[in-house]
Structure 1
Amino acid sequence: MRNRFVPAAIPTVLCAGLIALATNASAQLHDPATPLAVAAKVALRGEANSIAVREMRIVRKNDILVVQADMSNMGRTDRTVFYRFKWLDNVGNQVGDGESWKQMTVLGLGQQTVKSVAPTSAAVDLRLEMNVEPR
Structure 2
Amino acid sequence: MRPRLALAAVPAVVCAALLTPVGAAHAQQHDPATPLAVASKINLRGEAHGIAVREMRIVRKNDILTVQADLSNVGRTDRTVFYRFKWLDNLGGPVGDGEAWKQMRVLGLGQQTVKSVAPTSAAIDLRLEMNVELR
What is the TM-score of this pair, normalised by structure 2?
0.85
Larger radius of gyration: 1
Paired with 1:127 and 1:105, the residues of 2 have a C-alpha distance of 20
- Could you say which residue in structure 2 is the equivalent of 1:88? 88
**CA distance 1:32–1:96, change in 2 (3 Å):** same
Q: Which moved more, 1:25-34 or 1:104-113?
A: 25-34
- Could you say which residue in structure 2 is the equivalent of 1:50? 50
Q: 1:12-61 CA distances to partner (integer Å, 9 max, x unpaired)?
A: x9776434396775343111111111000000000000000000000001
Are the aligned partners of 2:78 and 2:134 in contact in 1 as well (CA < 8 Å)? no
- 3-state SS of 2:53 partner: strand
- What root-mean-square deviation, in Å, do the aligned CA atoms of Structure 1 and Structure 2 show? 2.6
Where structure 1 has 5 or more consecutive residues not aligned to the other structure, the ranges are: none
Where structure 2 has 5 or more consecutive residues not aligned to the other structure, the ranges are: none
Are the aligned partners of 2:84 and 2:129 in contact in 1 as well (CA < 8 Å)? yes
- 1:1-135 to structure 2, matched below 5 A, reads 17-20=17-20, 25-135=25-135
Q: Identity rate of aligned residues, in percent?
A: 76
Count how many residue pairs are aligned between Structure 1 and Structure 2: 132
